[in-house]
Amino acid sequence: MNQNDCIGKTLKRWPIFVDHYKGGTATIVDFGQLSLSQLNDGDSKYKNFDLNLKGCKLTSIDNSDPQNPTTVTKTATITFDGVSKIAGQNLLATTGSAANVAVGIKDITFGTPANLNLRDGDNTLTYSAFVKKAGAAAVTAGDFTTISTFEIAYQ
């Protein structure tokens, strides 16, 4: 991969490229139609989404001792976050005409790094977003949106 393969990104600063743009828009998780009664009864609706990492370079050769070259493997973490976190719940608040709806990501704690098991080359990370009732009040019908960001760090 050369630097021109990823417009707006610099290979020298970041060895992992996220191919999450489809047709000029960010990855969107569409939950479709949900059952108010199921959400109000405490059920959650899950929907998988993928983050496609391109051209990961996590291993290199350390030749500092020419007699004993060693393979060095970097580790990586991912941290999901959002500006609309609900205090005391690992959920993101939503905006829109629906009320008391929140979104989370299975096995992810917002703001906390999670280890990644990556290999050199391309990787696909699959996560499950879920929607659930945000509090004691009933969920009301309507559209909702929220935004989660993520950061991948390597050491």
Per-residue pLDDT, 89: 92
Per-residue pLDDT, 18: 44
CATH class of the domain at 3-154:
mainly beta
Per-residue pLDDT, 139: 92
Q: Which long-range contacts (CB under 8 A, 24 or more apart) does 62-67 make?
A: none
Each domain of the chain, given as residue ranges in start order, spans 3-154
Low-confidence ranges of the chain (pLDDT < 70): 1-26
DSSP symbol at 44: -
Please choose, from the candidates 16, 4, 18, 6, the residue with its C-alpha nearest in 3D space to the C-alpha of residue 127.
18
141 burial level (CB within 10 Å; 0-12, 13-18, 19+): exposed
Please choose, from the candidates 75, 57, 79, the residue with its C-alpha nearest in 3D space to the C-alpha of residue 155.
75
Distances (CA, A) of 34 to 9, 39, 128, 149: 38, 8, 16, 24
Q: pLDDT of 113-151, one tens digit each?
A: 999 999 888 999 999 999 999 989 999 999 999 999 888
Amino acid identity for residue 14 in this structure? W
Q: Is 143 in contact with 96 (CB distance < 8 Å)?
A: yes
- In whole angstroms, what is the distance from residue 105 CA to residue 153 CA? 19
- In whole angstroms, what is the distance from residue 143 CA to residue 31 CA? 10
Exposure b/e, 58-87, CB count within 10 A at least 16 = b: beeeeeeeeeeeeeeeeebebbbebebbbe
Report if pTM > 0.85: no
Per-residue pLDDT, 10: 27
Phi, psi of 56 (to 5 degrees): -65, 135
Per-residue pLDDT, 26: 67
